[in-house]
């Protein structure tokens, strides 16, 4: 592998490769070529489909608007990748050559300063920062939409926005946050920190690493275009046949998911291979840091899960364009088919989101309590058990769908069983806390918040998994509150803890502590108030995703809205802290927390190949504590 040859060259300036196309391509050329591709596809499809545009009474006439829009969106994505130079390597291979060593080094962004963040850069640390900025942008956009939703629901009959806008807010908030949460820990930390943690020079497939980010990047404008195409009425679940019926904005959703699924497949494969194949000498499986284990299990779970969502979206796209009727019961299809495909992805997916967040916190606790991680094996059993069971529980989202009621019992059994591996995660955390004196720094605070939030999320999950209780609660605000406790209260809190913990290594500076504390309390108190109100509304009987509600729900909704504004203020403060500390924070020492994992043995800025000489590992990184 040619990256290995770069070991000794990282410190001296390297001349740019002469006459190479690579040096001239960047995000700007990507956008230009992407727009050109999209425009070409638009006009080509539009003119070639003219014959169909007459309003023929035949219900099987293709829907040209949808074909043109979908085609243009995919063309944009491919065009952008062409324009940023993603296919230069594969093209060279095809004609029997490869990139020169100089080009490879150039692609790694060596000596290019801030410019490399806007290029097809293969350095895992650059990709990690790209993901971090991308995630924060998505969370900001999704959070803004959440504020709009809560504003509209502040009082009954509010009508702050119209139903079209409200439904789009709900759907786009959902999908934006889901995408953000899937990559929130494995994107920034999985890419930046994890290869250093396992003592590798880079990821196994550096070019695929860049590809996974830039493919994801192309999905963002596509998703945003939904707003200008009339929005989406379906929520993030995009249930068919509502999604088949929906207006042109739905095409943006379909294209986004297909593009995003490509990105996760590439990233998942890359991370898994890196961890399996590139651990440094001595890092046996029982010495691997728990964050690495968690992230790997998470992405490995995503690899089989997302293709089903992609498939469901391909079918939705075909139903919307060529009247294939996969999900149209009037044509012999079935909406239940969609629901099954969706939740076969959807339930593993929530654990894809959750596990890296928990794993990040498990990495943090031993450092701040100065005790070994309690029962490393139980942690792995917990993750593995959750991952294993999570593929067998999807139909608990369909207890009341009417599809196979006789399967409700078996799915209830598997779902309730998940509380056992989940319990192990709690045991690991509290076992490590027991008899410790936690060092009350920002990352540690997240651990406490996580335990409270995930406990509430977990217990309410037990009622929801019980069929008779779900008969009442399903589709109500109660469900919304439950999954926000797990996805936001647990997974996002874990990721924020991870950010506070690894921030010094990723930026060279400490995250502003006072702002961090203020933000923490605003977010956590606001969050609990917000979703306590939503539990009330759900228990009272308010359905999810409604733009208006009866007066009996007025109090609980007002409580929720007040809490939401608290979360919003806290998040803005956190964003300030992240941006401000990046350039103006106190300079961080190499190992500010006194941790024992490998990423704290390298200086900032981290050298291009991380280590001059790969370290040799003789024990796991949790050798804290005195006595036996």
Candidates 129-137, 255-263, 295-303, 569-577; binding stretch for other proteins (CB under 8 A): 569-577
How many C-beta atoms surround the C-beta of residue 166 within 10 A?
A: 23
Cis (ω within 30 of 0) for the bond into 241? Answer: yes
Provide the CB-side half-sphere exposure for 537 (13 A, CA). Answer: 35
> Smallest distance, Å, CB 490 to other proteins?
13
- By CB under 8 A, what part of segment 95-154 binds other proteins? 144, 147-148, 151
Q: Is 55 in the site for other proteins (CB under 8 A)?
A: yes
Q: Is 438 in the site for other proteins (CB under 8 A)?
A: yes
How many C-beta atoms surround the C-beta of residue 594 within 10 A?
A: 12
- By CB under 8 A, what part of segment 230-269 binds other proteins? 230-231, 233-235, 237, 239, 241-242, 244-248
C-beta closer to other proteins: residue 38 or 153 = 153
Cα-based distances in Å from 622 to 62, 80, 373, 618 = 61, 44, 6, 12
Contact 207, 90 (CB under 8 A): no
> Smallest distance, Å, CB 491 to other proteins?
18
Residue from the set 4, 90, 437, 612 that interacts with other proteins by CB under 8 A: 437
Give the rounded distance of the alpha carbon of 436 from its chain centre: 32
Structure tokens at 260: 């995003």
C-beta closer to other proteins: residue 276 or 552 = 552
For residues 28 and 26, what is the distance between their CA atoms, to the nearest angstrom?
A: 5
CA end-to-end span of the chain: 44
Name residues whose C-beta falls within 8 Å of residue 61's C-beta, 6 or more positions apart in sequence: 52, 323
Residue from the set 11, 98, 434, 618 that interacts with other proteins by CB under 8 A: 434
C-beta closer to other proteins: residue 103 or 319 = 319
**Nearest residue to 418 (alpha-carbon basis) of 402, 396, 433, 449:** 396
Packing angle, helices 163-183 and 249-277, rounded to 10: 10
Give the rounded distance of the alpha carbon of 66 from its chain centre: 28
Q: How many residues of this chain bind other proteins (CB under 8 A)?
A: 143
For residues 2 and 131, what is the distance between their CA atoms, to the nearest angstrom?
A: 25
Q: Is 28 in the site for other proteins (CB under 8 A)?
A: no
> Smallest distance, Å, CB 247 to other proteins?
3
Q: Is 628 in the site for other proteins (CB under 8 A)?
A: yes
- Per DSSP, 511 falls in state P
Residue from the set 53, 468, 603, 618 that interacts with other proteins by CB under 8 A: 468
Give the rounded distance of the alpha carbon of 564 from its chain centre: 22
β strands within 204-263, DSSP E? none
- By CB under 8 A, what part of segment 148-167 binds other proteins? 148, 151, 156-157, 159-165, 167
Task: Label residues 355-367 b or e (16+ Cβ within 10 Å = b).
Answer: bbbbbbbbbbbbb
Candidates 4-12, 15-23, 485-493, 566-574; binding stretch for other proteins (CB under 8 A): 566-574
For residues 117 and 109, what is the distance between their CA atoms, to the nearest angstrom?
A: 8
> Torsions phi, psi of 485, nearest 5?
-65, -35
Q: Is 369 in the site for other proteins (CB under 8 A)?
A: yes
For residues 75 and 67, what is the distance between their CA atoms, to the nearest angstrom?
A: 12
The contact mask relative to other proteins for 486-505 (x = CB under 8 A, - = no) is --------------------
C-beta closer to other proteins: residue 90 or 471 = 471
> Smallest distance, Å, CB 107 to other proteins?
34
> Torsions phi, psi of 476, nearest 5?
-105, 175
> Smallest distance, Å, CB 36 to other proteins?
27
- By CB under 8 A, what part of segment 288-327 binds other proteins? 319-320, 323
Residue from the set 286, 586, 618, 619 that interacts with other proteins by CB under 8 A: 586
- By CB under 8 A, what part of segment 588-617 binds other proteins? 588-594
Structure tokens at 582: 């990046």
- By CB under 8 A, what part of segment 168-187 binds other proteins? 169-170
> Smallest distance, Å, CB 51 to other proteins?
17
Residue from the set 100, 419, 604, 611 that interacts with other proteins by CB under 8 A: 419
Candidates 5-13, 21-29, 45-53, 547-555; binding stretch for other proteins (CB under 8 A): 547-555
C-beta closer to other proteins: residue 85 or 249 = 249
Candidates 18-26, 200-208, 287-295, 578-586; binding stretch for other proteins (CB under 8 A): 578-586
> Smallest distance, Å, CB 5 to other proteins?
34
C-beta closer to other proteins: residue 191 or 581 = 581
C-beta closer to other proteins: residue 111 or 140 = 140
Q: Is 525 in the site for other proteins (CB under 8 A)?
A: no
Q: Is 573 in the site for other proteins (CB under 8 A)?
A: yes
């Amino acid at each position: 592998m040619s990256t290995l040859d770069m070991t000794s060259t990282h410190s001296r300036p390297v001349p740019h490769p002469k006459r190479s196309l690579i040096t001239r391509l960047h995000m700007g050329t990507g956008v230009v070529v992407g727009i050109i591709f999209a425009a070409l596809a638009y006009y080509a499809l539009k003119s070639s489909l003219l014959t169909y545009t007459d309003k023929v009474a035949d219900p099987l006439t293709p829907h040209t608007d949808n074909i043109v829009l979908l085609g243009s969106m995919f063309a944009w994505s491919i065009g952008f990748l062409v324009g940023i130079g993603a296919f230069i390597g594969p093209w060279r291979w095809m004609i029997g050559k490869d990139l020169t060593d100089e080009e490879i080094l150039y692609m790694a962004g060596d000596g290019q300063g801030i410019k490399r963040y806007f290029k097809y850069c293969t350095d895992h640390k650059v990709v990690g920062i790209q993901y971090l900025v991308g995630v924060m942008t998505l969370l900001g956009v999704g959070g803004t939409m959440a504020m709009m939703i809560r504003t509209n629901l502040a009082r009954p009959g509010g009508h702050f926005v119209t139903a079209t806008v409200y439904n789009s807010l709900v759907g786009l908030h959902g999908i934006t946050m889901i995408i953000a949460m899937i990559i929130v820990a494995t994107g920034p930390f999985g890419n930046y920190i994890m290869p250093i943690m396992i003592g590798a020079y880079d990821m196994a497939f550096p070019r695929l690493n860049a590809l996974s980010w830039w493919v994801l990047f192309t999905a963002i404008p596509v998703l945003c275009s939904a707003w200008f195409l009339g929005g989406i009425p379906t929520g993030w679940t995009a249930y068919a046949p509502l999604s088949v019926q929906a207006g042109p904005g739905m095409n943006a959703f379909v294209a986004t998911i297909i593009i995003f699924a490509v990105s996760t497949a590439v990233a998942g494969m890359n991370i898994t291979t890196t961890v399996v194949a590139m651990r440094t000498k001595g890092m046996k499986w029982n010495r691997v840091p728990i964050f690495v284990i968690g992230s790997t299990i998470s992405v490995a779970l995503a690899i089989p899960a997302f293709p089903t969502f992609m498939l469901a979206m391909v079918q939705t796209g075909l139903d919307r364009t060529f009247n294939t009727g996969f999900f149209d019961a009037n044509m012999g299809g079935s909406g239940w088919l969609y629901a099954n495909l969706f939740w076969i992805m959807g339930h593993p997916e929530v654990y894809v989101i959750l596990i890296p967040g928990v794993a990040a916190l498990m990495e943090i606790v031993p450092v701040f309590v100065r005790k070994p991680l309690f029962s490393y094996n139980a942690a792995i059993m917990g993750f593995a058990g959750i991952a294993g069971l999570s593929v067998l529980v999807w139909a608990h989202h369909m207890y009341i769908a009417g599809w196979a009621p006789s399967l409700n019992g078996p799915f209830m059994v598997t779902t309730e069983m998940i509380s056992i591996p989940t319990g192990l995660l709690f045991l690991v955390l509290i076992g490590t806390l027991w008899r410790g004196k936690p060092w009350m720094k920002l990352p540690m605070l997240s651990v406490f918040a996580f335990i409270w939030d995930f406990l509430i999320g977990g217990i309410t999950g037990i009622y929801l998994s019980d069929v008779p209780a779900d008969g009442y609660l399903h589709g109500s605000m109660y469900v919304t509150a439950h999954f926000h406790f797990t996805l936001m209260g647990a997974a996002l809190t874990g990721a924020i803890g991870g950010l506070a913990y690894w921030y010094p290594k990723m930026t060279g500076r400490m995250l502003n502590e006072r702002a961090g504390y203020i933000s923490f309390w605003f977010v956590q108190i606001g969050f609990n108030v917000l979703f306590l109100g939503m539990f009330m509304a759900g228990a009272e009987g308010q359905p999810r995703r409604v733009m208006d509600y009866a007066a009996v729900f007025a109090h609980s909704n007002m409580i929720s809205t007040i809490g939401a504004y608290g979360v919003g203020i806290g998040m803005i403060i956190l964003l300030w802290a992240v941006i401000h500390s990046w350039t103006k924070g106190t300079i961080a020492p190499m190992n500010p927390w006194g941790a024992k994992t490998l990423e704290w043995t390298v200086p900032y800025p981290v050298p291009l190949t991380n280590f001059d000489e790969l370290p040799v590992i003789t024990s796991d990184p949790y050798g804290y504590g005195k006595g036996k």
